[in-house]
Structure 1
Amino acid sequence: MEKEEGASSTHVLVLPFPAQGHMNPLFQFSNRLVSKGLKVTLATTIFIAKTMKSHPGSLIVDPISDGFDDGGWAVAEDMNIYKERFEAVGSRTLAELVEKYSHDCPVKCLIYDSHIPWALDVAKKLGIVGASFFTQSCAVDLIYYNVSRGLLSTPVQGPTVTIPGLPLLEVNDLPSFVYYALGSYATHLSSVLSQFSNFEKADWLLVNTFDKLEDEVVQWMSKKWRIKTIGPTVPSMYLDKRMEGNTDYGINLFHLDTDPFVKWLNTKETSSVVYVSFGSLAELGEEQMEELAWGLKNSNSYFLWVVRASEETKLPSKFVEETSEKGMVVTWCPQLEVLAHRAVGCFMTHCGWNSTLEALSLGVPMVAMPQWTDQTTNGKFVVDIWEVGLRARVDEKGIVRREDIELCIKEVMEGDKGKEIKRNVKKWKELAKEAVDEGGSSDKNIEDFIAGLVCD
């Protein structure tokens, strides 16, 4: 892989928000920067550094404190308290870390998760380049931007919303924090809107997407801001294969035993298994878990279902035993390896942005079952814009019933609509690879970003 002249002396400090879904894309982007010759240091929190199950390869890890060194954000009373303390303690320890390298290999640029806007203030104070990294889609970012500037009022009055650069959206297609914006959601909304408190002062805005995936919104945003699309941030061996050995994100906060599920998948026919996962945060109610369980059983497809240990008590009594010939329930598994397996023919997903990009990049059709936050918007694009999946619809109680789950699975796996979805997802898989291939849009944007740092 061609390396920018002078890149080896360019030191970049990367500050991810300490949650798995935020760390994965930023770590993979860091790996790409290293492959192009930059020196990259990861400023993870002390708690994350202590709990890593694997080391991120050639990346240097040098932790800072968030004020919760023994438990991270999980031991804070709430997320607002965590973020306040993270800003107070993190600002100081981040500045100390930058100063630590000031003599031997000075930090040229700070790339920080957009949910840590105070990091830009640290960068500006120390005279280094500040680049805000957005882990969500451009569409979601633009919706939140409109809310932050008072261009879209919350809670939103329906039935539809028009936002420049985006398709016509129904109210329930907006992020849940926006269309509901009451109770705890109002608190969450305030938190996500903080991304835009000072973002226009950043030297760069880096977004985990690629141009053709969100063509109109990227063009609209590019006219206003210094934006670079650098995704999809999926490990290289699943896309362009230019980074040998880059098969995972390089960090995991969970212990993984891959042997049982791999052996099980290896016994199944091509495209015969439904993979079901709702990420690391979404919690299904007991009634929804029961409907999902029987919907999977009634579909008569093989299924691999990730049910976190904290959620296992919600499974119907004896469900695992009664479906053992068709299904396998695990508490966690490496999602990329599953999606890349020939046996997987469908992904029932909460439509988190990382999961959506992974499914697109690996060519796996989806059954969309969004739960909250940006997932509702991602689900809209999965079904109606990119046409790579079907939406499992909720009833008047907000529950997706077993009949609809069964119908969606059968249609994606075996129906005429499923054939069209498979053709579309194959196209997007090729476009995702094209974006990160040498000379592709995202690869070129990364090269431009590096050139800007080297020449600065």
Structure 2
Amino acid sequence: MSSKAQHVVVISVPVQGHINPMLQFSKRLASKGVRVTILAPAYLTTSLQTMYGGLIQIECISEDDKPPHGIDELLEWFETIVFRSFRNLVDKMEGSGCPLKVVVYDAVLPWAQDLAQNHGLKGAAFFTQSCAVCGMYYLMYSGKLKVSTTENSSVSLPSIMPVMGLQDLPSFFIDTQSYPSLSKISINQSMNFQKAEWLLFNSFDNLEKEVVEWISHEAAIKTIGPTIPSMYLDKGLKDDKDYGMSLFKPNSESCIKWLDSRETSSVVYVSFGSLASLGEKQMEELAWGLMRSNCYFLWVVRTSEDSKVPKDFKSKTSEKGLIVNWCPQLDVLAHPATGCFMTHCGWNSTLEALSLGVPMVGMPQWSDQPTNAKYIMDVWETGIRVKGGEDGIVTREEIEGCIREVMFGEKGNILKNNALKWRELAKEAVDEGGTTDKNIDEFLSQLIK
């Protein structure tokens, strides 16, 4: 396969949970000789670097280091700067002797397909959520799924999906008013099913086999995940030890040193990602639930959330816990001391835990997280989900019980064994000749043709 003449441009929503998987896919392409240019605003370019002997280049598309804060304003601003700079980029690459061939774009930016076509390029939509969730969005978009908010009602879904109640659906199906723009964006990414030449999913065949087959009847899709650094999977990409970008500075040395001093599988790792924000009452319940579990814990509390931690909590738990503002998540999940991952069930975090074989306690907040938690508990059987009260607050007693069940209970052993099974299947998918590896090769061969 002669892929060296191929040149791909990558456009991702400029937030960590979207950039990182697309960056990892870029590394896979570059390892096969494809030249990749990643478009990024100025405030991200300092976190990214040229890789693979120059095959991955970063193209700065704005001089503004202060992007808008609101998600709606951020997306509108990003669309404007991409459109403004894209023509010059195409001309620049044409003059370099390595013209662009295809735009790999974040599926929540369907306008990028129009941008590609307007410049004579092909488009590949990259979905950063599970095949199951994207399939549900597609049903909603095409009018085949209606959701009633009647209490205790279940939802009519394809038989290849588990039976779901309202609490298991993506939050945008139920609460369309709180985040109207995000709700519209999430569902409208299904436009790509008709518009894009390729649909790429950050998943792997064995993980969602029946759903992949079902979606394949609607459109040609390729699973190209899990998109995490090669060192944790097949070890096939040289020096691929981390994502290569972080919006927060991790407390790497202190985290690993602290874990090194703990026994195998004795630590609960707690992190709710880069965006989730818990209320003060929920933070209080979480804190005392961790203390009541009597487990060692490593808890990521972003600087913006720090004031919500009970004032006397750190002093009372100094012998049992470590609280940091950010940490190297993959290193923590892969560490022998980590026995459980308490997570919001974002798709990246879910894939990381599955790929590294760590059982989970799911505490989903919004978006696709409730559905991911449903699959974690009832389909992949690698974790349990906390139950909230009538006010939506998960109590300290519930948190304590769930942690202890995973860490010490009989069910915990079953979850750990299942997690190890998925870890092996994830490695198998990305290894040479695996389903993900073959799908990437097929994508490249179609690109060359």
Q: Shorter-chain TM-score: what band?
A: over 0.9
d(CA) in 1 for partners of 2:91 and 2:111? 17
Aligned to 1:61: 58
2:369 match: 375
Count of aligned pairs: 443
Partner of 1:95: 87
1:244-264 CA-to-partner distances (Å, cap 9, x unmatched) read 210111112222231111111
Q: Distance in 1 between matches of 2:98 and 2:181?
A: 40
CA contact (8 A) 1:95 1:122 kept: no
Match for 2:185 among 181, 191, 216?
191
- Would the alpha carbon gap of residues 120 and 94 (structure 1) be closer, same or farther in structure 2, given more than 3 Å must change? same
Q: Is the 8 A contact 1:56 1:249 kept in 2?
A: no
Q: State the match for 2:113 in structure 1.
A: 120
State the distance in 2 between where 1:56 and 1:357 align.
Answer: 26
Amino acid at match of 1:99: D
Task: Output the amino acid matched with 2:203.
Answer: T
Question: Which residue is 1:179 aligned to?
Answer: 174
Counterpart position of 1:24: 20
Encode CA deviations 1:116-169: one digit per residue, 9 max, x unaligned.
111111111111121000000011101111222222235644511122242221
Aligned pairs for 1:311-322 within 5 A: 311-322=305-316
State the partner residue of 1:244.
238
Cα offsets for 1:201-243 (capped at 9, x unmatched): 2110000001111111100111111100000001101000111
Distance 1:253 1:390, change over 3 A: same
**Structure 2 unpaired stretches of 5+:** none
Matched residues in 2 for 1:315 and 1:391: separation? 22
Deviation at 1:196, TM superposition (A): 2.4
CA drift at 1:315: 0.6
Quick check: 1:56–1:250 contact (8 Å CA) kept in 2? Answer: no
| Aligned with residue 125 of structure 2, among 118, 124, 132 | 132
1:41 paired to 2:24: no
Between stretches 191-200 and 424-433, larger displacement belongs to 191-200
**1:282-431 alignment runs, 5 A limit:** 282-431=276-425
Asked whether the equivalents of residues 21 and 128 of structure 2 are also in contact (C-alpha less than 8 Å), the reply is yes
Kindly report the root-mean-square deviation, in angstroms, between the aligned alpha carbons of the 2 structures: 1.5
Aligned runs of 1:256-275 on 2, under 5 Å? 256-275=250-269
Output the TM-score relative to the length of structure 2.
0.96
The answer to whether residue 95 in structure 2 is matched with residue 105 in structure 1 is: no
State TM-score, norm by structure 1. 0.94
Query: Secondary structure of 1:184's match?
Result: coil
Partner deviation per Cα, 1:43-100 (whole Å, 9 max, x = no partner): 11233224x2x525332101224xx8222242xxx43333334333322312321221
- 1:94 counterpart letter in structure 2: F
Pick the aligned partner of 1:276 from 235, 257, 270.
Answer: 270
What secondary structure sits across from 2:114 in the alignment?
Answer: helix
- Match of 2:327, SS state, is coil
Would the aligned equivalents of 2:251 and 2:324 in 1 still touch at CA under 8 Å?
A: no
The unaligned stretches of length 5 or more in structure 1 are none
CA contact under 8 A between 2:68 and 2:77: conserved in structure 1?
no
Match of 2:156 in 1: 162
Equivalent residues of 1:154, 1:180 under 8 A apart: no
Q: 1-side partners of 2:51 and 2:340: how far apart?
A: 31
Decide whether aligned partners of structure 1 residues 422 and 70 sit closer, same or farther in structure 2, where only a CA change above 3 A counts. Answer: same
SS of structure 2 residue aligned to 1:346: strand
Contact 1:270 1:343 in 2 (8 A): yes
Equivalent of 2:67 in 69, 72, 84: 72
Deviation at 1:187, TM superposition (A): 3.1
**Contact kept? 1:91, 1:118, Cα under 8 Å:** no
Q: Is the partner of 1:107 in helix, strand or coil?
A: coil
Task: Answer whether contact 1:155 1:180 (CA < 8 A) is retained.
Answer: no
Q: State the match for 1:230 in structure 2.
A: 224
Name the CA distance, whole Å, in 1 between partners of 2:81 and 2:257. 46
Distance (Å, rounded) in 1 between the aligned partners of 2:262 and 2:270:
16
Compared with structure 1, are the counterparts of its residues 222 and 122 closer, same or farther at alpha carbon in structure 2 (3 Å cutoff)? same
Maintained 8 Å contact 1:136/1:353: yes
CA deviation map 1:315-364 (0-9, x unaligned): 11111111000000000001001001010000000000000000000000
> Given that residues 304 and 327 in structure 1 are in contact (C-alpha distance below 8 angstroms), is that contact kept between their aligned partners in structure 2?
yes
Aligned partner of residue 248 in structure 1, secondary structure: coil
Q: Which runs of 4+ in 1 moved over 4 A?
A: 154-158
**Segment drifting more, 100-109 vs 271-280:** 100-109
Given residue 166 of structure 1, which amino acid in structure 2 is its aligned partner? Answer: M
